[in-house]
Every structure is written in structure tokens, then in C-alpha cells.
Structure 1
Amino acid sequence: MTTTSTITFYDIYANAEPVATMSPSTLRVRYALNLKGIPFTTVWVEFPDIEQVCKKLGVAPTGKSRDGKPRYTLPALQDASTGIALSDGAEIIEYLDKAYPSTPTLLPRETIALQLATYSALVPRFLAVYPLYAARAVRLFSPETQRWWRETRAAMFGKPLEEAEPKGEEKARVMNKFIADFGEVYQWMSRGDGSFLTDDQTASFVELTLAAMLNSLKIVFGEDSEEWLKIASWNNASWLQFLSKYEQYHRVAA
């Protein structure tokens, strides 16, 4: 296994502890690197600077914005030992599996299609609560990034961030649906051994994604918030038990 760091990991900065990010997309790759035991260094990037950083690295856009322009996102990873630079979480983890074969495999070839399909089913469940999430997340950013966040979310929602945030009965409806949707995910897990484990009994890409989503909600809403306490108590506090397995991977590289 690699003993010195050849990997630079580009993560999205937020004022959070113990790791300075709130992004579920970057958290799942951070968990993968830590679980695999691959040394890496972190470069923190503010949201408004993501496109510039990605272009400098030479990584491809991961999609298109609503106006049709290329959309650049983090995480991104640069590996000096191979000269590879990548963005997109699934592609990064697939690369790490191949480039570091002595580490636990998170996306075995025979499971890729199923895992990516399951991931696609998780995303809309997470996005269902996004207006509330976005309104709470703004407090975690620098003043410049707060301005950028408010402008871009207003364009996304068609109204100012505070107006887009669900309140009262609408908030209760959104939260109840969100928790019910994740209750369905819990039922998927309950049909097996309580996880999305791969054959060698290490965590899978899907399981890391789910842990990253939940920890992102915990960070953005706040550990003592009404929203997080409600999520955490659902299904007999099963999500707290699930997340406890990932505490050791939720850290910054040295």
C-alpha cells in the first residue's frame, strides 16, 4: 500500500467540524480514501472557485447547467503517481479500486450497474429536502460564498433563498415525506444483512454515499436541530447506528 501521499483531493470548504465540508459528494470520496487507507492531502475550494480549479486541473465537466453551459463540480482528485486527474465521485472511486488493488474494493465490476442504479434512486430522495437544506447551509460559508450561494439558489428556485425555504405545514410535509422516503431505503437494507456490503464485507460505494448524505444533513441542519433529531430517531434510531460505522472515516487527512 502507498505510504506517502501522491494524491491531492479537492474538497468544498465550509465552516464545519471535524472536517471542513458539508458536501455529500465530496464526503463519500473522503470516506473512500480513508477506508482504503490511501494517504492524501486536501486542497479546500470555495464554491465560486470550483470551475476555475477544475479547468486548471484539466478535468471534464460533470454535466450541464440549466443555461446549457458546462457544469464543473467537486470532488476532484489528482494522482501524481499516475498523472491522472478526475472529477465525479463514482469515476474517482472506480479509479481508486483499479489503481490501488490491495485496498478494499468498493465498486466491484459485477456490482457497478446495480450500485449506480441504487445511487440514482437515492439522489431524488435527498433532493426532495433541498430547498430547506440550501437555506440552512448558507450559514456555513464565507461572506463571498454566501453571496454566490444566494444568487445561484435564487436562480435555481426562481425566488430568494428565504422565500424558497419551506415553513410551517409545508416544512412538516417535506420532512415527513423525506423521512418516509429514507424509511424505504431502510427497508431495502433490512431485506439483507442491514447494509449494502460487498462480498468482502467492506463498505460499498452506495453505503458510503448514504453515509455521506446523512452526515451532510447532520452538519447542515445541526446535530441538535429539530430536523436532525427527527431523522435520527426514525426506524428506532437505525440511522445513528448506521453512521457510527463511519465516524472513523469522517476526518481530514494529516
Structure 2
Amino acid sequence: MEDKCTPSHLPLARRFCLNAKGLPYKTIWVEFPDIEASLAIARYLERTYPGPVALIPPALDGLVGDFQKAVWAAFGLPMMRLVVPAVHATLRPGARPYFRATREARFGQPLEELAPAGSALRAECWRRRGSGGGARGVRTLLVSDALPVSYADAIMVSWLYWFRECLGEESGEWKTMTAWHGGRWVRLMAAMEKYAQVDSGESVQLSKL
């Protein structure tokens, strides 16, 4: 999707929203501590640029926060031990001390010990996440295939792109994920691909790390 790795799924979610709205923008690559949350930004886009796509339909506005938390609890949190070390490896040298210190404080152990490849701990992370279940209906988009893309789709597919980036597209672990729910997440990624374009952007450092 892009030449640079992102240390979080959040910039991906915002990019999907901007592209779905058809809004011009310029990418500014910042260090990890400067990344901001996405829901408030999505709501701002809805208020300021209501067309041509309603990312957050009015009837669902009260639910999107709960949806975002549910995705984190069921999908993001169980996978963090697997992807955090990979994220650290993609960061610029200036951002790594902050990232390492905050993540090691959160997990209570060095990054290298979170879920090493081939370890029983890594296998337990996958066991806790489960197999993803079988196919769950034929719908591709999360709200409705009869409606345009939504913020829910942007959030979910941003996680998927990020996991693919962190785990490696050719890895067995990513291929396992693509089979979850009868391949539904692969179909969602394919449907959202048209909103995935990114400019080369420019780099700027906002934080003194």
C-alpha cells in the first residue's frame, strides 16, 4: 500500500476516510508519539464535509465508539504481543526509545520476550485469539453492502493492513488470518483497496524524543 511502514493502524484509518470522501490532502510523516486518535477526526470530517459518503451515518453515531472498543478488545488487544516487536523494528531511531519504554512498561517485560517466533507464548497468543470462526454471511462491508463505505470499514481494514504489514504478507501467520470468517477480511480489504492510495508525502519531526 505504501513504501513506508506505519507504527500504528490509526493513520491508515484516517487515510481511508479522506480517500473515501475524495478530499485532497498531503501526507506528513511524523514520529510515533505525535499520532492522534481517529474517531474525533472522522466526526470532524462528517461535520465539515458531509458528502459524498457518510462515514458515520447519524443513526449509528452513538455506536461507533463502542464498535471501536469492541474491535480493540476482540481483535487488536490479543494480537499486540505479536506485532509490537515488529512495529519497533520499523520505527526511526529517534522514536524507538519512547516506543520501547512505554510498551515494556505496559507489558512488564522486554519487547524481545513478548512472543518470540516459535515460542509457546506466541502459540498461546494465537490460541487465545482463536481461529476466527467460519463464514458469517455473505456481506463484505460491515454496515451494509447496499451503502457506501463507513468508518467501521475504515477501522477494521486499517487493522488488517497493519497486521499484514507487521506479520509479513508471505508469513504463515498472515495467511492464517486471511482464512478467518471464510475469507471475509480478505474480501473487505479488496473492497477497500480503491481508498488505499497514498502520496509520497514529506517527513517532519514534531516531538523531541
- The one of 99, 111, 128 aligned to 1:177: 128
Tell me the residue number matched to 1:133.
83
Aligned counterparts, 1:131-210, within 5 A: 131-165=81-115, 168-180=119-131, 182-183=132-133, 187=136, 190=137, 193-197=139-143, 201-210=147-156
- The one of 53, 59, 68 aligned to 1:110: 59
- Residue identity matched to 1:99: T
Deviations, residues 37-59 of structure 1 (Å, cap 9, x unaligned): 000112111124x2xxxxxxxxx
- The one of 7, 25, 38 aligned to 1:40: 25
Change (3 A) 1:21 1:208: same
Deviation at 1:177, TM superposition (A): 2.7
Determine which structure has greater relative contact order: mean sequence separation of CA pairs < 8 Å that are 6+ residues apart, divided by chain length.
Answer: 2
Tell me the residue number matched to 1:28.
13
Distance 1:213 1:99 in 2: 26
Which residues of structure 2 form unaligned runs of 5+? 201-209
Distance 1:250 1:18 in 2: 13
Q: CA RMSD in A?
A: 2.4
The number of residue pairs the alignment matches comes to 198
Deviations, residues 148-184 of structure 1 (Å, cap 9, x unaligned): 322221111111111222552321221133244x448
Checking the alignment, whether the CA contact within 8 Å between 2:5 and 2:90 is kept in structure 1 is no
Which residues of structure 1 form unaligned runs of 5+? 1-15, 51-73, 76-87
Checking the alignment, whether the CA contact within 8 Å between 2:53 and 2:148 is kept in structure 1 is yes
Q: TM-score, normalised by structure 2?
A: 0.83
Distance 1:127 1:120 in 2: 10
Q: TM-score, normalised by structure 1?
A: 0.70
Distance 2:50 2:98 in 1: 40
Distance 1:114 1:104 in 2: 18
Instruction: Give % identity.
Output: 27
Checking the alignment, whether the CA contact within 8 Å between 1:39 and 1:253 is kept in structure 2 is no
Instruction: For residue 95 of structure 2, give the secondary structure of its aligned residue in structure 1.
Output: helix
- Residue identity matched to 1:231: M
- The one of 134, 159, 177 aligned to 1:231: 177
